[in-house]
Structure 1
Amino acid sequence: MSSRARLKILSIAHPAVSRDAGRLRYYPLGRRDDLDVHLVVPAVWHQFGRDIVADPSDDPGITVHVMPIRLPKAGPMSWYLHFYPGLRKLIRELDPDVIHLWEEPWSVVAMQARLLKGRAAMVMEVDQNILKRLPPPFEFIRKQVLVNTDHVLSRSPDATAVVRARSYEGPVSSIGYGVDLTNFRPDVAPLLPPVERPAFRIGYVGRLVVEKGLDDALDAMARAKAPVTLALMGEGPQEDALRKRVAELGLTDRVSFRGWGKPAEVAGFLRSLDALILLTRTTGAVKEQFGRVITEAQACGVPVIGSTGGAIPDVTGEGGWIVPESDPPALAALIDRIAVDPAELQKRSAAALTNVADRFTYEAVAKDLANACFAADARRRGR
């Protein structure tokens, strides 16, 4: 590539099938005059029991290739077996400088890209943060893909440790998930004092499952001296058990439940809180990979009370507080301290907004992606 040529990137990313989610992170790349960005997405994607038809391909500044896939929902391996029959032809026609995969390295589509990439450098984006041996042939695929990867974009330090343990020796940089600031934003200027409420209001958005530690939050409320309320938005198999525990602890008047909402409704819910909680517990099968609701809350100026589980401390940064997993007394003590300290809340709220602005806007995520692609291209060319 000459000094004046644009870097041609081919990104393969099933999360970008929809414009209102993964595809938005590519738009800042389309505004750059040093990049020529092509995006491959499945024509139809099957996830969470439904088929998602790809949004149209007339996106600003980038070229979107909507392509059919094979094996979209293959038994217990879910989407990890899918591949694109037309990918060989597309790569030959485009001759990209870099192929970027927003797919896990053990997926068949990652192996397909590794075999077809030609002269292109390869950038892998990884989330998996629990080290475990995969069944054949996926362990073999992972090793082959990672050995032939020029740069890894990692969602967390734990995800980095996993690829290091599986033969990857090249450079790693971090990347987060972008936040849609058109929905998730504060109502007022970030440095205004928090609204005084009769009780300290904490809340949670997500699935109601045991791993999220919501029973720890209830136990902490029962222990706390400060008046505190909890609002839950979401659904899941633990709802009945949580309602029962609320009644047992005498918290019926202080805990509310509501179902899922649209993004604008979620944002309004978050803005009603003094702090969001995300108290994920680590198990053999669960370790928080990112926690998108952290950045959504922080984009609204709401600080986060998080556990030490997985990526939560790293994503939260200075925009909140961290307590040990499964430790209601520690959580109760924290609530009692910050519920009566508006200056601390204001400080953490400002830090939350800064954390998102610096790391988790779509522009910041796009910059991290572009920098990794330039670095991979330079490494492949020996510069």
Structure 2
Amino acid sequence: MRIVVASHTYIVDLNREKLRELANLAPDVEVTVVVPKRWKPGGVQNRVVESEPLDEGAFRVVPLSNFSQNQQGLLTFGWDLVDLLRQFRPQIIQVEQGAKALGYAQTITLNKLLGLKAKNVFFTWWNIPYTLKFPVSLLEKYNLSNTDGAITGNQDGAEILRDRGYNGPITVLPQLGVDETLFRPQEVSNLRQQLGLEPTDFVVGFVGRFVEEKGLLTLCQALEGLRDRPWKWVLLGRGVLKESLELWVKENQFEDRVIFVESVPHDEVYRYINLLNTLVLPSETTYKFKTLSSVGWKEQFGHVLIEAMSCRVPLIGSDSGEIPYVIDETGWVFPEGNAEKLRECLVTLMDDPELAKQKAQQGFDRAMKRYTNRAIAQQQLEFYQQLLG
């Protein structure tokens, strides 16, 4: 099976592990990853990434000339894409920029013009309803009418595609898996001592952006009601809400309870997750489904959840977006924005260490079965096989 996957996501080598695994699943699988030659990462001023080619036999990365260097919906490729498709003659062409992407329309059209008869597939994270105006509405209609299969990163994304009129095959898979060789249960006593954590401390953790939609203020309220408990809160990340969080710490005299950590490389995050008695993702939806608008946000997946599961750390999450589907029966889910229910989850974990241990093991088993790079690659390959008949 010859597969082409096109996305700026795979400029970063760390993000390619799922596709490497895909290329290793069977002797007849070949994966060619198309990335833009030049790309400006979001939020990094004046920085341009120059992609490098890579050839590992059945897995290779091919940088191609590209138009638009920082807008994924506008990303398209130059004439060298035609040469690649003509020579490789893929059976699957997957573009990971969503249903409204120009790059997807480009590969659909080239697939037809070159007579490749490949299956057209796209990936999307989009999980809130939207309306479109001409000509983007026409672009999406063209793309969806020529789609053989879609992969959505969440259940809501699949429902959105049905609402948009797409009736073809859909599978729900995250774009990236967890590296279980890195994110695994490990001893981190030295880090505990470094951060001043006592053996009796119940360590609550948050990893991510410090923004209101991540529900941090709700977690603040929940912890306020647990003053008589020996908890510590480790926040790993950064964001515009940090000043408000620091003010809350000062007003409640929690200076000895709250630990801020930032600028940690991704390959060091596992150490901090292994400190935790629980990881909490209290995300809150800002889109309330009152009008068909693309304004708003709800949790698309929560990658840190599967990283914590892989480290055998119990989870608490809100019911925003994909979180309940990721956690399933392996942890605790509370109504988003409800500090009292979140507090009840924390108390349950504090009071029942055996139940916490049981849930942590269930989460670990689920991560190994569903969310490693190899597990996701296997599910993706099965979807391709379904499309090819």
| Equivalent residue number for residue 217 of structure 1 | 219
Shift of residue 262, structure 1, vs aligned partner? 1.0
Question: Is 1:8–1:96's contact at 8 Å kept on the other side of the alignment?
Answer: yes
| Equivalent residue number for residue 254 of structure 1 | 257
Q: Whole-Å Cα distance in 2 between the matches of residues 60 and 210 of structure 1?
A: 45
| Equivalent residue number for residue 349 of structure 1 | 360
Match of 2:73 among 72, 80, 97: 80
Question: Is 1:17–1:54's contact at 8 Å kept on the other side of the alignment?
Answer: yes
Q: Whole-Å Cα distance in 1 between the matches of residues 272 and 232 of structure 2?
A: 14
| Equivalent residue number for residue 26 of structure 1 | 19
Q: Whole-Å Cα distance in 2 between the matches of residues 262 and 213 of structure 1?
A: 24
| Equivalent residue number for residue 107 of structure 2 | 113
Shift of residue 196, structure 1, vs aligned partner? 9.1
Shift of residue 316, structure 1, vs aligned partner? 1.6
Please show how residues 162-241 of structure 1 align to structure 2 within 5 Å.
162-176=160-174, 177-187=176-186, 197-224=199-226, 225-241=228-244
Q: Whole-Å Cα distance in 2 between the matches of residues 46 and 318 of structure 1?
A: 40
Question: Is 1:318–1:355's contact at 8 Å kept on the other side of the alignment?
Answer: no
Query: What are the superposed Cα offsets for residues 234-280 of structure 1, whole Å, 9 maximum, x if unpaired?
Result: 11111001111122233222111111311232110000001111111
SS in 1 for 2:239: coil
Amino acid aligned to 1:362 = N
Shift of residue 219, structure 1, vs aligned partner? 0.8
| Equivalent residue number for residue 287 of structure 1 | 298
| Equivalent residue number for residue 244 of structure 1 | 247
Shift of residue 60, structure 1, vs aligned partner? 5.0
Amino acid aligned to 1:183 = L
Tell whether 2:59 aligns with 1:58.
no
Question: Is 1:226–1:335's contact at 8 Å kept on the other side of the alignment?
Answer: no
Shift of residue 134, structure 1, vs aligned partner? 3.2
Question: Is 2:53–2:60's contact at 8 Å kept on the other side of the alignment?
Answer: no
Amino acid aligned to 1:212 = K
Query: What are the superposed Cα offsets for residues 182-230 of structure 1, whole Å, 9 maximum, x if unpaired?
Result: 3211116xxxxxx993222111111110111111111101112533221
Question: Is 1:294–1:315's contact at 8 Å kept on the other side of the alignment?
Answer: yes
Cα gap change, 1:222/1:206 in structure 2, threshold over 3 Å: closer, same or farther? Answer: same
Amino acid aligned to 1:301 = R
Question: Is 1:183–1:263's contact at 8 Å kept on the other side of the alignment?
Answer: no
Q: Whole-Å Cα distance in 1 between the matches of residues 248 and 274 of structure 2?
A: 26
Shift of residue 331, structure 1, vs aligned partner? 1.0
Amino acid aligned to 2:165 = S
> Comparing 154-163 with 142-151, which one deviates more in the overlay?
142-151
Tell whether 2:376 aligns with 1:365.
yes
**Normalised by the size of structure 1, how large is the TM-score?**
0.90
Shift of residue 39, structure 1, vs aligned partner? 1.6
| Equivalent residue number for residue 64 of structure 2 | 67
> 5+ unaligned residues in a row in structure 1: which ranges?
1-6, 189-194, 379-383
Cα gap change, 1:331/1:197 in structure 2, threshold over 3 Å: closer, same or farther? Answer: farther
Q: Whole-Å Cα distance in 2 between the matches of residues 240 and 60 of structure 1?
A: 50
Query: What are the superposed Cα offsets for residues 79-118 of structure 1, whole Å, 9 maximum, x if unpaired?
Result: 2111011222322222221111222111110111121113
Match of 2:331 among 304, 320, 335: 320
Match of 1:275 among 274, 278, 284: 278
SS in 1 for 2:362: helix
Query: What are the superposed Cα offsets for residues 289-328 of structure 1, whole Å, 9 maximum, x if unpaired?
Result: 1111111111111121100000011112233210110111
Match of 1:137 among 130, 135, 138: 135
Question: Is 1:41–1:54's contact at 8 Å kept on the other side of the alignment?
Answer: yes
> Comparing 39-48 with 282-291, which one deviates more in the overlay?
39-48
Q: Whole-Å Cα distance in 2 between the matches of residues 275 and 211 of structure 1?
A: 20
> 5+ unaligned residues in a row in structure 2: which ranges?
188-196, 288-295
Please show how residues 333-344 of structure 1 align to structure 2 within 5 Å.
333-344=344-355
SS in 1 for 2:203: strand
| Equivalent residue number for residue 3 of structure 1 | none
Cα gap change, 1:56/1:89 in structure 2, threshold over 3 Å: closer, same or farther? Answer: closer
| Equivalent residue number for residue 87 of structure 2 | 93
Q: What is the identity percentage for the equivalent residue pairs of Structure 1 and Structure 2?
A: 29
Q: Whole-Å Cα distance in 2 between the matches of residues 58 and 89 of structure 1?
A: 17
Q: Provide the aligned length of Structure 1 versus Structure 2.
A: 361
Match of 1:308 among 319, 336, 347: 319
SS in 2 for 1:90: helix
Runs of 4+ in structure 1 off by over 4 angstroms are none
